[in-house]
């Protein structure tokens, strides 16, 4: 009876040790898989970041948005409809403004907005279904009072070709009346500090 009990206990101990070893091996494999996945993600992000920064931008340090034409974006000519480019430009412009600290809620709070007075787009190449594209945007300083400009460049990631260039002429308005008004200090601080180098606005009272 004692011998049988010892044999049974020994078998149970070995099975328990084997189970723990299998669990440890599985946990180690899972940890390796997670680590490999993280490494892959980091490498992919680094590669993507490197690609964006080395694209042939018209100006340095663009604020960017990655876009890809989807089936709903394709028109009867089998390329991206022109209206989609306008929507993409609006998306990247709002994202850039929010990154600078001015959202739609801030516009409403300040009763001021930068409204598009004129918009111009040069469609240089078609964008086809599924193509990887990156849209960059920059601010230009304007007059430091009422006006500033925003420009856009859409690049094809595969070869760096420019698909579109765009430009907005912006004017500051009072939301309540729709009339042109001077930019508030919050706009000057956020937008002009991020604008590309260029002619500086004249000092108050300067001729």
Band the pLDDT of 46: cuts 50, 70, 90: very low
- pLDDT surpasses 80 at 205: no
- Asked whether residue 77 falls in the same domain as residue 121, the answer is yes
Question: For the chain, what is the mean pLDDT?
Answer: 81
Mean pLDDT score, 165-194: 97
- pLDDT surpasses 80 at 131: yes
- Asked whether residue 73 falls in the same domain as residue 161, the answer is yes
- Asked whether residue 132 falls in the same domain as residue 114, the answer is yes
Long-range contacts made by residues 1-10, C-beta under 8 angstroms, separation at least 24? none
Please state the domain count of the chain: 2
Band the pLDDT of 49: cuts 50, 70, 90: very low
- What is the model's pLDDT at position 24? 47
- Alpha-carbon distance of 42 to 44, in angstroms, equals 5
Q: Mark 106-135 as b/e (b = at least 16 C-beta within 10 Å).
A: bbeebebbbeeeeeebeeeeebeeebebbb
- What is the model's pLDDT at position 17? 52
- What is the model's pLDDT at position 52? 74
- Asked whether residue 43 falls in the same domain as residue 124, the answer is no
pTM: 0.72
Half-sphere exposure of 50 (CA within 13 A, CB side): 6
- Asked whether residue 67 falls in the same domain as residue 106, the answer is yes
- Do residues 121 and 143 make contact, with C-beta atoms less than 8 angstroms apart? no
The answer to whether position 152 is within a domain reads yes
Range of the domain at 168: 63-192
- pLDDT surpasses 80 at 21: no
- Asked whether residue 114 falls in the same domain as residue 185, the answer is yes
Q: Higher-confidence residue: 172 or 39?
A: 172
- Alpha-carbon distance of 200 to 183, in angstroms, equals 16
- What is the model's pLDDT at position 175? 97
- pLDDT surpasses 50 at 134: yes
Q: What is the CATH number of the domain that holds 72?
A: 3.10.129.10
- Asked whether residue 88 falls in the same domain as residue 123, the answer is yes
- What is the model's pLDDT at position 105? 97
| DSSP letter assigned to residue 184 | P
- Alpha-carbon distance of 134 to 18, in angstroms, equals 53
- What is the model's pLDDT at position 5? 42
């Amino acid at each position: 009876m004692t011998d049988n009990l010892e044999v049974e206990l020994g078998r149970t101990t070995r099975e328990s040790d084997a189970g723990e070893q299998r669990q440890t091996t599985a946990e180690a494999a899972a940890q390796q898989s997670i680590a490999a996945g993280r490494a892959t993600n980091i490498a992919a992000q680094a590669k993507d970041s490197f690609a964006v920064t080395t694209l042939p931008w018209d100006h340095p340090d663009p604020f960017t948005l990655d876009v890809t034409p989807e089936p709903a974006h394709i028109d009867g000519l089998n390329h991206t409809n022109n209206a989609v480019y306008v929507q993409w430009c609006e998306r990247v412009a709002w994202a850039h403004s929010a990154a600078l600290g001015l959202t739609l809620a801030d516009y409403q709070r300040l009763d001021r907005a930068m409204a598009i007075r004129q918009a111009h787009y040069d469609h240089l190449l078609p964008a086809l279904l599924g193509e990887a594209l990156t849209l960059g945007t920059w601010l230009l300083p304007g007059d430091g009072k009422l006006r500033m400009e925003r420009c856009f460049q859409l690049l094809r990631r595969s070869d760096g070709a420019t698909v579109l260039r765009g430009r907005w002429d912006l004017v500051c308005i009072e939301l309540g009346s729709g009339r042109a008004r001077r930019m508030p200090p919050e706009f000057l601080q956020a937008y002009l500090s991020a604008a590309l180098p260029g002619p500086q606005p004249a000092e108050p009272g300067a001729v």
